[in-house]
Chain A
């Protein structure tokens, strides 16, 4: 097709395959960040700059860092184990089957032979107006969802209090940082997870 599309598509696919197959977890996380970047470039090429830069900000700037933190907090000192599970053949076969079905669906449909319409220019003003008028209910629901997810994630990942007995002083705070939990937790910098 187009040279830029070919380069971006190749970059994205190669880094996705690398992300799913490398042995070292942090390398996988960095490759998946490159995949997110490649996808953002594809969104920019498709004429959706707001989504493209939002993808970089959210995925590369926050989700990738979250993943990297989680990898660091769940490292174990066990020796390197086999990378894939025992039934990896079935997994790859299912994935190939899904790819085959989707490819056949794409190639045999009529929508793929129509001429593409003219390039739209979605301004941020239009996106903002739509968000506030037509999509205000999903917007508020997403806000509620993000609040619930933030609170839920913090509560789930919080460490339980060291002493479960009630103290006489009555000062059992539920936010113990690092401290007396058994090894091999790496030290948690900054106090709160």
Chain B
């Protein structure tokens, strides 16, 4: 197997692990962790395609990943702030219990 499909398979495996975690765990923070893992898997995909793809001199893959890392960090910050705020109101971060819109 050439290197590219190995990296792509690894990235899809990490993506599905993150997806499984985000769909099955009940704690809101772990759902966020799953989402971060999915973002990282996508970044790995970009770098693998940049390295083994058509035109590595244009470093488009690296640029995309730099911006993706920045956006993912910002999203993690806001998401965790939301979780802290939810905890303050509901006294729990169990997603099965946070099921009412009435505050």
Touch between A and B in complex, CB under 8 Å?
A: yes
A154 partner residues in chain B, CB cutoff 8 A: 81
Chain B residues whose C-beta falls within 8 Å of the C-beta of A7 in the assembled complex: none
Known A-B contacts A112-B4, A130-B63; the reply to A156 vs B12 at CB < 8 A is no
Q: Is the interface of B mostly helix, strand, loop or mixed?
A: helix
How far does the Cβ of B31 sit from chain A's closest Cβ, in whole Å?
10
Residues of chain B from 15 to 48 with CB closer than 8 A to chain A in the complex: 15-21, 23-27, 29-30, 32-34, 36-37, 40, 43-44, 47-48
Complex alpha-carbon distance, A127 and B8, angstroms? 24
Q: Report chain A residues within 8 Å CB of B7.
A: 42, 46
Whether A66 pairs with B76 at a CB distance below 8 angstroms is yes
Contact of A106 among B9, B26, B88 (CB under 8 A): B9
Contact of A66 among B21, B57, B77, B95 (CB under 8 A): B77
| A162 interface residue (CB < 8 Å to B) | no
Q: How many A-B residue pairs have CB under 8 A?
A: 245
Q: B29 is contacted by which of A20, A70, A82, A184 (Cβ under 8 Å)? A: A70
A32, A119, A130, A149: the one contacting B36 at CB < 8 Å is: A32
Contact B62 A51 (CB under 8 A): yes
How far does the alpha carbon of A112 sit from the alpha carbon of B12 in the complex, in Å? Answer: 15
B16 to chain A, nearest CB (A): 4
Specify which chain B residues have a CB less than 8 angstroms from the CB of A29 in the assembled complex.
33
Interface size for B (C-beta < 8 A) is 74
Let me know if A156 and B96 touch, CB within 8 A.
no
Chain B residues closer than 8 Å to A87, beta-carbon distance:
24
A28 to B50, CA, bound (A): 31
Q: How far is the CA of A111 from the CA of B10 in the complex (A)?
A: 16
* Residues of B close to A135: CB separation below 8 A: 63, 67
Residue pair B37, A91 in contact (C-beta under 8 Å) = no
Pick from A47, A70, A102, A114: contact of B84, CB below 8 A: A70
Contact yes or no, A107 B84, CB < 8 A: no
Known contacts A116-B51, A156-B82: A98-B15 contact under CB 8 Å: yes
Contact A181/B88 with A83-B25, A98-B16 known, Cβ cut-off 8 Å: yes
| A interface with B by C-beta (< 8 Å) | 1-2, 5, 9, 12-13, 16-17, 19-21, 25, 28-29, 32, 35-36, 39, 42-43, 46-48, 50-51, 54-55, 58-59, 62-63, 66-67, 69-71, 73-74, 76, 78, 81-88, 90-92, 94-96, 98-99, 102-103, 106-107, 111-117, 119-120, 122, 126-127, 130-131, 135, 138, 142, 145-146, 149-150, 152-154, 156-157, 159, 181, 184-185, 193
Closest 7 CB pairs of A and B: A20-B21, A91-B23, A95-B20, A149-B74, A102-B12, A99-B16, A91-B24
